[in-house]
Structure 1
Amino acid sequence: MTDSPLKDRTIVVTGAARGLGAALALELARRRARLALLGHEGAELEALAAALPTTALAFEVDVTDHTALTDAAGEIRGLLGRPSVVVANAGIALGGPFATSDPDSWRRVIDVNLTGSAQTARTFLPDLVATAGYFLQVASLASLGATPMMSAYCASKAGVEAFAHTLQAEVAHQGVAVGVAYPSWTDTDMIREAERFTAMHELRAHMPPPARTVYPVATVAARLARAVECRRTAVYVPAWLRCIQAVRAALPPFVLRISRHELPRLDAGHPLPGTGRLGAGGRADRAAAEPGDD
């Protein structure tokens, strides 16, 4: 894709070691962008950088650590040039009832998904202003309608949507475009691991057929890469999710009706278990944030 407008531009992708972040990095590399890959898993990031068909560098960094992000940004400018696109993709999740959730793990989801996105924007905003660049916030279907057993994740994704809309209004006059991505269920290790918990699987399975479909990660990444090329203010995967915006007020009563029927059957009088931080990315975050904690 040598005619892409992203050719020879520096793009930052957080949460790039695996899943949607890694798939998006590949799509952007095919468009000949220079890539800065940020995340916890240094070895995985290095391997991805080496495999991409373009210049790519790995930076092992926690997006909630302002100092580490600032240091990484300085290296990126020196080695790759000023970023003109930043994709805030880093995110973790845990499932289970809010009442029995671990408070520290619950808070960590908010910190990574919401505060980490804001820290990413704060760090690279001077570059985006200087280049009239583009910031893409990866939100979720969960931003549009909350799901039982995913309180921290849903709260954080609703938060990043609101944050991105606020930032969009603040920086438009400076030539910076801000977009929000709303991917539905995506075939990542986080979702695959959640599916092993009966309650999580059953709640998804009782959604209407289009809403419960799990989409290939490559399909979602291709749509997001195209959104970056076009500087879209919103991208929905699948496209029909856009229609939910018009009926968002109807979603909570619908979800309530499903959960009232399904949760009593699923718990069978016993508390439903929590999942812990989901997927290899969640475990990597725990290892980095809580060294020495098994």
Structure 2
Amino acid sequence: MLTVNVPDSLHTCSQINNEDISFVHYREASPAGRNLISFESCAISFILSGQKEFFRESASTLVQAGEGIIIPQGNAIISERRLQATEYTSLVIFFPLKIAKDFIWSSPVKLSGTTGCSSALKANNGFLPFKVTSYLSLYIKNIITLIEQKAELTYPVMLHKLQELFLVLAEMHPDTFFDLWNVAQDASEIHLRRVVESNISKGFTLTELAFLTNRSLATFKRDFEKAYGTSPGKYLLKRKMEIASHALHSGKSPAETAMETGYENISNFTAAFKKHTGYTPKEYQSINFQTEPLAI
């Protein structure tokens, strides 16, 4: 058997891509037997018709129409069957592990345990099957419609849709969802992330954040880039702008929003917000009051 690398091998399927996020409508009239699948990205798969038998390490599960499965990066053996349907179909969303980890540390859903992390998988076996609720059915329908219409979605919009899905699944399975992404996560990284995420809006300098993590500035920058995959400055600005967009969308004034995001004066906040979004805070409010806040 040949090893199939996904999502690269699915380039002929109908899909929407932007950077490292993909929404793929997978259809197969004659599914083969067992396949060796190498997931180069993490995936969330919704079975629309037929069934998928999934094997990873020492565990397996059977996922049928009306169900889904969260699959972290790694290898698996998969057998797909169309059963009585004319074809096996699924909606698969691919994304890097970093996005899931970033969601964990900024999530409004409370983490279980004292650290919110686990050194090994507990209630799952390297995957998490789940039932499709009525809310998720509408979510799937919306994504498939966008794919069929060949919609051109920006990366912030695709990220927002993915984070929406994370939030729903985290509320459905709060313990297992968070455990799933935290295999072998270093305790020092846990501490660094906790300090960073708890102080996003406090206006601390990088030197101050480094001090809170008991690191020199150079070590803090090195460990931060290892944990987040980007520089502290870029990440902190992005998170502040996300917080600001939600605050402005909720009706808070630019002055209130500036204070909430750690800016000492509104002019500095306005300049940063316009540079990042292309709009002043007031312009952003007038454009977005009738829609969801942007995932910046």
Asked if TM exceeds 0.5, the reply is: no
Which protein is richer in helix relative to its size?
Answer: 1
> If you compute each CA radius of gyration, which structure gives the higher value, 1 or 2?
2
Which protein is richer in strand relative to its size?
Answer: 2
Give the structure-1-normalised TM-score.
Answer: 0.27
